[in-house]
Amino acid sequence: MNVAALIVAAGRGSRAGPGAPKQYRQLAGEPVLRRTLMAFSSHPQISSVLTVIHEDDREAFEIAAAGLPKLLPACTGGATRQASVRAGLETLSAAAPDHVLIHDGARPLVSAQLISECISALSVHEGALAAIAVTDTLRRATPEGRAGETLDRSGLWRAQTPQAFRFKAILEAHRQASGQDYTDDVAVASAAGVEVAIVEGDEDNIKITSAEDLKRAERILTSTLDVRTGTGFDVHRFGPGDHVWLCGVKVPHEQGLVGHSDADAGLHAITDAVLGAIGAGDIGQHFPPSDPKWKGASSDIFLAHAVELAREAGAQISNIDLTLICERPKIGPHVLAMRQRIAEIIGADMARISVKATTTEGLGFTGRGEGIAAQALATLLFR
């Protein structure tokens, strides 16, 4: 099943006060929009993610989206939200997904469970709306600002996103709605006769509109995060060769490293650290050295596999800290390239990747120049 996510992020967010549009403001160290994109790009049932942006925000979007998987090139939105969604749907029509989830870029705390439930509803219904039942007493205010009549709240729901649809149905509905003004995509769908079911939403799935909403989202985020760590350690001895592979970077050296794969001790240690954080064993269980298929294999394959398992487990890699232990070759000149390559593989900002080097002051096998050791710590966030 091909399921696309359409993230609507073309608004200007003026109610959030002066500064960048709200979707590009920082939330617990990441742009709001990046957290939204991560929720969908890491979901195993989502095939692709398209973001609709304001043309003036293209550079900010590229920074916010850097390194994330499944992202399609962003398209430019229109003068209204309805026009922006239509532009996104028309862009997606070339790929013809089976289903589409339309979501506000300023709702960064959407859960993997809510995404799954919206997708599941489409097996029975043409559309699905995430919503919260109204439980508070509703009153109409008088012109003088006094409490007026009590309104009947039965059957009332507060609409959220995602709003999920069978793709052909919502695309046709938007085409029919051209020139009209609807408040959301369910209204567009209903006007075209598309049946939309309600899926129980999530109180934490707030839409950030004001500066106070940002503070609330940060409180929610920090109170619901499950932080786990994993460690990894790897050793390879020197052998014949004229280079070594370390952290996905080819480093010239008078010897090579001996191993069944490319013997990249750095990436092997990081892979084990990520697998450890999600309780998924070690690299040898996933890529046995007895299997000839992995002979000479590039170790970025191993790390990418571990990262995908972490995403499927609902985890985001927050930080990688790697220490390479050797007398030679010199690591310092290659640290930047190593950090960049690791960031590319795991889909994280380079600022979250640390690569250091040390010696053992001539002691032990590394001190004697017999090989290289690496130890890694991975910090993962589960929500």
Q: What is the pLDDT of residues 301-332, one digit of tens each?
A: 999 999 999 988 878 898 999 999 999 999 99
Amino acid at site 163: Q
3-state helix, strand, coil in the chain (%, to 5): 35, 30, 35
Residue matched to tokens 């795991």: 346
CA 369 remoteness from chain centre = 41
DSSP character at residue 203 = T
The letter for the amino acid at 372 is: I
C-alpha to C-alpha distance for 1 and 166, rounded to whole angstroms? 11
Structure confidence by residue, pLDDT tens digits, 221-256: 877 778 999 999 999 999 999 999 999 999 999 999
Quickly state the pLDDT bin for 358 (edges 50, 70, 90).
very high
Residue 17 confidence (pLDDT): 57
Q: What's at 300, amino acid-wise?
A: D
Query: Which two three-digit tokens encode residue 203?
Result: 């109180």
pTM of full prediction above 0.85: no
* C-alpha pair distances (Å), 47 with each of 164, 185, 212, 296, 363: 14, 21, 34, 31, 51
Q: What is the four-CA torsion angle of 107, 111, 112, 114, rounded to 10 degrees?
A: -90
Domains plus CATH for the chain? 3-224 (3.90.550.10), 226-382 (3.30.1330.50)
Q: How far is Cα 335 from Cα 281, in angstroms, rounded to an integer?
A: 28
